[in-house]
Amino acid sequence: MQPFKPLDAVALPLTRANIDTDQIIPARFLQKPRANDFGAYLFRDLRFNKDDTKRPDFVLSQSAYSASEVVVAQRNFGCGSSREQAVWALHDYGIRAVIAPSFGDIFYSNSLKNGLLPIVLAPEVVEQILATLSAQPGLKVSVDLERQVVRAPSVADQPFEIAPFSKHCLLTGMDELDYTLTHADKIAAFARQYEANEF
């Protein structure tokens, strides 16, 4: 996992709630090996027509947003399927952080394991940011994970919460599985006791 660096980048406003992982990456791309550029599949059916021509009505098709590294969306972003490919698609496209009032639980967890920072802000703050980003395409949002602050146009600096361990993993690129393996003895001890009483 790549360490999360301070971010100051164009933000993409997705003024929609319940953006499910089927929207983020349609299921027909899930069988692709990880070596593929999953960024090509990001919002595939929102960005492109069946004949692969661009859909100009989708916000990411507008040139002012094409270099976006932050996504701002309404509630329940990443709901639905557990597919980690949704995170890979955002990551490979170059998205480093997603800001929303709430996230699908599994999407949130998957994000942290791939260097993508999910940030929960209050709904009214998100609405204000969305309105500004939509009115003035190409504005930037900055994210300082060390200090846990988002700076976005038209709102005061926003502190955000993140679990300290997840923050540490993101900042250092440390992998959770490596950390767990350092506790292999505790798992083994637990399993011995648990299995002795199993039926």
Q: Binding residue for another protein (CB under 8 A) from 5, 54, 55, 183? A: 183
Sign of CA dihedral 77, 82, 87, 90: negative
Nearest approach, Cβ of 67 to another protein (angstroms)? 26
What token pair was written down for 50?
A: 């069946």
**99, 72 Cβ separation under 8 angstroms:** yes
Q: What residue type is 67 in one-letter code?
A: A
**191, 24 Cβ separation under 8 angstroms:** no
Of the pair 156, 184, the CB lying nearest another protein is at: 184
The answer to whether residue 128 forms part of the interface with another protein (CB under 8 A) is no
Q: Binding residue for another protein (CB under 8 A) from 122, 131, 149, 187? A: 187
Query: Where does this chain touch another protein (CB under 8 A) — which range of 2-10, 137-145, 149-157, 190-198?
Result: 190-198
Q: Binding residue for another protein (CB under 8 A) from 2, 5, 27, 172? A: 27
Q: Which of 67, 152, 171, 32 is nearest to 112 (CA)?
A: 171
Q: Binding residue for another protein (CB under 8 A) from 4, 41, 93, 103? A: 103
- DSSP secondary structure string for all residues of 16-51: -S--BHHHHS-GGGTTS-TTS-GGGGTTHHHHB-TT
Residues 134-163 that bind another protein (CB under 8 A): 163
Residues 66-95 that bind another protein (CB under 8 A): 75-76, 79-85, 87
**169, 116 Cβ separation under 8 angstroms:** no
Residue 51 CB coordination number (10 Å): 5
**Which residues make up the interface to another protein (CB under 8 A)?**
15-18, 20, 22-23, 26-28, 30-34, 45, 50, 75-76, 79-85, 87, 102-106, 109-110, 113-114, 163-166, 176-177, 180-181, 183-184, 186-187, 190-191, 194, 199
